[in-house]
Amino acid sequence: MTPRPGKVEVPIAGEVISRRPKGAASRAHYKATHKDEGEDVSRDLQKIVRLDGPAKINWLCKALPLLRRRSMTAAQFLDIVCNQRFAANIDDVMPWGTQMISMLRRELDDLQPQQVR
């Protein structure tokens, strides 16, 4: 815009702070900054069955989102959860027993009927 006669146009100082990268570079940057939380979830049955009740519920809280995102297969998840040793020290008296059961019942809809017997 041209200034009126007798007026001086003062430039406004400003700079672009950040721009979002587009394309593959932005996806790589997003993956680097938002690491997958599922990297530290163990899938080893022997390690998981040795956990105590609160540690098992923590494992379950980390494993269920992986199951939803299909990062963990349903077969792996069910092999662990349906194992007798996984449920050995869990009962209804302890608060984490009922909490784990309610969490699993909520997630049953994501699994196919052939997998859940």
Residue 117 placed within a domain: no
The pLDDT value given to residue 60 = 92
- Whether the Cβ atoms of residue 69 and residue 34 lie closer than 8 Å to each other: no
CB contact at 8 A, 60 and 98: no
The pLDDT value given to residue 111: 76
Residue in the structure block whose two tokens are 């997003």: 30
Whole-prediction pTM value?
0.62
Residue whose structure tokens are 């990297």: 39
Strands (DSSP E) contained in the chain are none
Domain count, the chain: 1
Is 58 among the domain residues?
A: yes
Task: Output the pLDDT for position 109.
Answer: 77
In a domain, 83, yes or no: yes
**pLDDT (0 to 100) of residue 3:** 67
38: which DSSP letter? G
Distance, in Å, from the CA atom of 56 to the CA atom of 58, rounded to the nearest integer, reads 5
Q: Does 3 map to a domain?
A: no
**pLDDT for the residue 30:** 63
Answer whether residue 70 is part of any domain.
Answer: yes
Q: Where are the alpha helices (DSSP H) in the chain?
A: 24-33, 45-49, 53-68, 74-81, 95-107
Q: Is residue 23 part of a domain?
A: no
Pick the closest to residue 114 from 57, 67, 74, 68 (CA basis). 74
The two tokens of residue 15 are: 């700079």
Structural domain boundaries, residue 84: 40-110
Compute, in degrees rounded to 10, the torsion defined by CA atoms 41, 103, 83, 96.
90
- Residue 18, in any domain of the structure: no
Q: Is 71 domain-assigned?
A: yes
Q: How would you write the pLDDT of the chain (117 residues) with one tens digit per residue? A: 666 777 777 767 776 666 665 666 666 666 666 555 545 788 899 999 998 888 898 999 999 998 888 888 888 998 999 899 988 877 767 777 888 888 888 888 777 766 665
